[in-house]
A and B are shown apart, each in its own frame.
Chain A
Amino acid sequence: MSKDNQILEEFTSKEYEHGWSVDMEVDEAPPGLNEEIIKWISAKKEEPQWLLDWRLKAFKTWSEMTEPEWANVTYPKIDLQALRYYSAPKKSKKPKSLDEIDPELLQIYERLGISLNEQKKLQGIAVDAVLDSVSVGTTFKETLSKLGIIFCSFSEAVKEHPELVKQYLGSVVPMTDNYYAALNSAVFSDGSFCFIPAGVRCPMELSTYFRINAANTGQFERTLIVAEDSSYVSYLEGCTAPQRDENQLHAAVVEIYAAKNAEVKYSTVQNWFPGDKNGKGGIYNFVTKRGICAGDNSKISWTQVETGSAVTWKYPSCILKGDNSVGEFYSVAVTNNYQQADTGTKMIHIGKNTKSRIVSKGISAGKSQNSYRGQVQVMKRATNARNFSQCDSLLMGDRCGAHTFPYIDIQNSSAKVEHEATTSKIGEDQLFYCNQRGISTEDAVALIVNGYAKEVLNQLPMEFAVEAQKLLALTLEGSVG
């Protein structure tokens, strides 16, 4: 057996660190999915009629759709009627400050290493924490509101800024877009809303930690980010979920709207429970993320570090409508054991001189399957469109798989599209070299993997990059002896 294979053999399942759940009284919907449930959710959330109508329309659309099967993933069919579509921690009134937040909730975040307190403030991060379905606390709101920035839970936005929500909801990801987006539109529970007014540069990273807590609860987050003319925001999303035996569904929708000269950076570190080393349990992560560079010279940049979930289906995309607009996608996806990831991006060039850049780094270990699926589309009007794609795969052992599915569709002959792809293995030579300098094999793997993913990690804000590096190391920990 070669050393590489031996490394693979010894690839262990370090038990998932965030695997526990707190018993908490929950306010939840009965299982099942039908119009009554949707009405129940909407009423629970005290929503206006227009939103209920919107949900019902989405439900109708969804009912006529079938589950997509084109992705390179296999999993048992999910019984959507067995899931609960709403679960909120019980509380008597809305918290006004952190002191009023259920200490048990705070404890969960503490255990996740997230503190809503001074620490984060010192780091200049405003955190809007989402536990299951309800947003539990928002810091920094005041500083932000002085600048006219709105950063709140989605439900709150529906109440406080209905005109904005109505204007933009579904404008980037229409409810008809795909099966999971339609489902999300019908039953979304909560999420974050972010609005940056014209000319404002958001002075801090906006951050949301998502977390799945109750068993058998599909999580349907809805995030909407609107950046008006010449504004700037960097948004961070991180998630962890406690260990469960049953598979849990996560079908989020994120929409970004960037007006003229606006720039939005969206960073994700995702480590939902991946299932155990035998492939039992784990999150199904079927997410629709899309941004539109609606105005000229606007820019949207997606950065993701994906280490979790049993099955991932996710293609953060950019519609480059404004002239000279720029779309970027930087991704590191790690799969281990029986994880399956089918992820990538779509860059749709509509405006003139639009540019897109794709950097995808896949890392496969164990018996996992890691696919990159990317689409670059250059429309007729998109004169001088440019795309550069770099898709690299790193294999650890020989029982995992890496696949690349690039789709290119060019309707304007002035377009320049470049695609590069490489596949490599972690070399025995590299490991030995590190060992010979006194570095343990485990740390050597972390070093090599982080080096491989550097171009993507460099895109993340500092604190997040450190966290992501640790996560990569953790995911591959125990992999070698």
Chain B
Amino acid sequence: MIELDRLSRTFQVGDQHVHALREVSLSIAAGEFVSIMGPSGSGKSTLLNLLGLLDRPDSGTYRLDGADVTDLGDAETARVRREKIGFVFQFFHLVPRLTAAGNVALPMLLAGVAPAERKARVAQLLADVGLSERADHLPSQLSGGQLQRVAIARAMSMSPALLLADEPTGNLDRATGREVLALLEDLNQRGMTLIVVTHDQEIGARAGRRIVMEDGRVVEDGA
């Protein structure tokens, strides 16, 4: 599903070049559960951003579902993100003025899904993450675990084939983190490709495939 060929990304900080990714080549099949670990600053988030088409590599190619998506235009990348990729973030990133239901509906809004269909799907998605009664609550009225579950429901609203999670449990206590992980594993079991960046050894261990990064390179890749 994902094929990376010598992907590099360099940031310029002042007059210094920071090599966040150095010629990373990877191939990830559909339905895998991959964890990415490594010390802070090793390039995990940079890799995830490239996979999510939120950033562009300086060199190398990225093929998604067989198509080269390295150099797509803005409208095209937006479409790919909308239709194929879901995101879950460490800091949840819910829109504070929108209710749980409003946040979950957001990707469908952007995709132009009709209001009636939107409503039905939001109800289903919130039920899937066990938050039906919280549909009308604002983010400020929800706990951390609930916020991340809303975020997962939102990520799933367009039924993407690929879910990217950057330290999804980094801001949660251990118990809630486990609940959130269970939710993600469940989605993976139903066929969705799951890539999780984490510092948590336990999560890393549960992934079917563990990638370890250091200084912009993949230094370990295996079961």
The judgment on whether A and B are partners is no
